[in-house]
């Protein structure tokens, strides 16, 4: 391409919403999610169609790509993940064994491993694609850096406060950055299990919706609810004086690596989880309201502190 620098980004493989994007000499040429071609909503399949589309838009082939960037680094994620699972093993067994027996313990451990296995497999498939179809250099991009960059560098601002909030990346869930010209300076971070994304995902599942897919339905459902459960949800998190937040490990089982992520402490207050085909009632609406309210309170708290931190 006449010595132009070509970068192909790949994301979401074996996770959700797999996609590709192409940048040529610093300009976004094309971007697409794989679901647009396969019609499988939120698919995590390797984005062959999305990649082909991006390359066609630029009129190039795989061999013209200089660098392929992948959206997460499993090598950075593995050590804290292993430590978390080891440090919470006793808690898992103590909680699950009397309720679901050995089989329940095995299923919980297997479920946790399946998540990590999918991330590693997705990374390997992306790397194999690079070696098979192009001469490009293959790199990984820190997950939160990728989110921050997609917001700041695509904006018209030369300087900005940047907040990323996710379920998890390599291990962080929330980060503060200060963006300036072509740099992103990482200022502060919150790590798992203190995850606003995981909190929202958990109650999306509790309400009978598909996690990593139907969270928008919960947000919409919140508009029909009341503040009935807000006092209980306020027990699930703390807005810390340092401007960050923490989750209540005693009430939220996922903070201790336990699946499913709720027990009698939750159901005694909110009722039983909704089944997927069960009609939505007033209780479900109020749960959604309280979850959305809590999310907004945490985000407002974070943004206020970020602005104070960056002085922008």
Map out the domains of the chain as residue ranges: 6-73+118-141, 196-310
Predicted confidence at residue 104, as pLDDT, reads 87
Predicted confidence at residue 301, as pLDDT, reads 98
Predicted confidence at residue 1, as pLDDT, reads 55
Q: In what order do the strands lie in the sheet with 67-70?
A: 27-33, 19-24, 6-11, 67-70, 137-140
Integer Cα distance of 11 and 70 in angstroms:
6
Integer Cα distance of 174 and 143 in angstroms:
11
Integer Cα distance of 5 and 245 in angstroms:
41
Nearest partner of 87 among 107, 104, 112, 111, judged by Cα? 112
Predicted confidence at residue 2, as pLDDT, reads 60
Integer Cα distance of 192 and 170 in angstroms:
9
What does the radius of gyration of the chain's CA atoms come to, in whole angstroms?
21
Domains 6-73+118-141 and 196-310 share a fold: yes
Predicted confidence at residue 64, as pLDDT, reads 94
For helices 282-310 and 196-206, what crossing angle results, to 10°?
A: 170
Q: For the chain, which ranges sit under pLDDT 50?
A: none
Kindly report the CATH class assigned to 6-73+118-141.
alpha beta
pLDDT digits (tens, 9 = 90+) for 206-217: 999 999 999 999
CATH entry 3.40.50.920 includes domain 196-310: no
Predicted confidence at residue 7, as pLDDT, reads 96
Q: What is the model's pTM?
A: 0.93
Question: How many Cα neighbours within 13 Å face the side chain of 232?
Answer: 19
């Amino acid at each position: 391409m006449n010595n132009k620098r070509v970068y192909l980004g790949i994301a979401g493989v074996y996770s959700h919403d797999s996609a590709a994007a192409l940048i040529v000499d610093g300009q976004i040429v094309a971007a697409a999610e794989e679901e647009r071609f396969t019609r499988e909503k939120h698919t995590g399949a390797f984005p062959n169609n999305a990649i082909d589309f991006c390359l066609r838009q630029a009129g190039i082939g795989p061999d013209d790509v200089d660098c392929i960037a992948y959206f997460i680094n499993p090598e950075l994620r593995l050590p804290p993940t292993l430590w978390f699972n080891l440090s919470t093993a006793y808690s898992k067994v103590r909680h699950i064994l009397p309720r679901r027996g050995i089989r329940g313990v095995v299923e919980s451990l297997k479920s946790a491993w399946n998540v990590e296995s999918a991330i590693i497999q997705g990374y390997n498939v992306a790397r194999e694609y690079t070696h098979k179809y192009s001469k490009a250099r293959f790199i990984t991009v820190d997950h939160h850096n990728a989110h921050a960059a997609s917001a700041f560098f695509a904006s018209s601002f030369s300087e900005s406060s940047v907040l990323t909030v996710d379920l998890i990346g390599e291990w962080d869930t929330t980060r503060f950055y200060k963006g300036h010209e072509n740099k992103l300076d990482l200022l502060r971070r919150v790590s798992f299990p203190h995850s606003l994304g995981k909190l929202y995902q958990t109650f999306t599942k509790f309400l009978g919706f598909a996690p990593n897919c139907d969270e928008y339905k919960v947000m919409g459902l919140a508009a029909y609810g009341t503040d009935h459960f807000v006092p209980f949800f306020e027990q699930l998190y703390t807005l810390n004086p340092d401007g960050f937040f923490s989750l209540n490990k005693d009430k939220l089982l996922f903070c201790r690596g336990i699946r499913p992520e709720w027990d009698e402490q939750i159901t005694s207050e909110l009722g039983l989880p909704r089944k997927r085909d069960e009609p939505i009632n007033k209780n479900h609406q109020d749960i959604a309201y309280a979850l959305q309210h809590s999310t907004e309170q945490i985000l407002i708290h974070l943004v206020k502190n970020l602005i104070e931190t960056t002085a922008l």
